[in-house]
Amino acid sequence: MRFLLVLLLAAAACGKNNEPPPPSSGSPNAQPESAPKKKNAADQARAMFDTICATCHGADGTGNGPAAANLNPKPRNYTDAAWQASVTDEDLRKTILLGGQAVGKSPMMPGQPQLKETPEVLDELIKIIRGFKK
């Protein structure tokens, strides 16, 4: 009789929760694993600048990136205060989205049309460019 009671209690307890236990590292005190944290717009823009833009424009924005030696015309020097004053954020936005050739600049600068889907990342890229002004 006792065995039957234990069996019924165990069956009732199992029926209450049909979800598998959360994944763990095997430690009895392990916390459930969380999803990887998504980068914010500023981090995404910085990563994009460092991997794409800096190749030509340089990490310091002076236009002396590793690929710049082979380019004619040379990439824009973002530290030039006169140039910074001569362009609007909208000019920069259009150039980044459409590429150099679409705005009468070097055809060697590719557009980044995928940034239309993430305008906050585009805005952060413009902040990075503006931050080079001396």
The per-residue pLDDT for range 58-100, each reduced to its tens digit, is: 999 999 999 999 999 999 999 999 999 999 999 999 999 999 9
* CA–CA distances in Å: residue 11 to residues 4, 15, 18, 22, 28: 10, 6, 12, 21, 24
Fill in the amino acid letter for 21: P
Residues whose CB falls within 8 Å of the CB of residue 71, separated by 6 or more in sequence, listed in order: 56, 106, 108
User: By the 8 A CB rule, do 93 and 122 touch?
Assistant: yes
The residue to which tokens 């994009």 are assigned = 48
Which pLDDT belongs to residue 20? Answer: 54
Segments making up each domain of the chain, as ranges = 53-130
Residues whose CB falls within 8 Å of the CB of residue 116, separated by 6 or more in sequence, listed in order: 97, 122
SS3 62: coil
* CA–CA distances in Å: residue 35 to residues 31, 32, 45, 65, 120: 13, 10, 22, 35, 23
Question: Which is more confident, 3 or 38?
Answer: 38
Look at residue 30 and tell me whether its pLDDT is greater than 90.
Answer: no
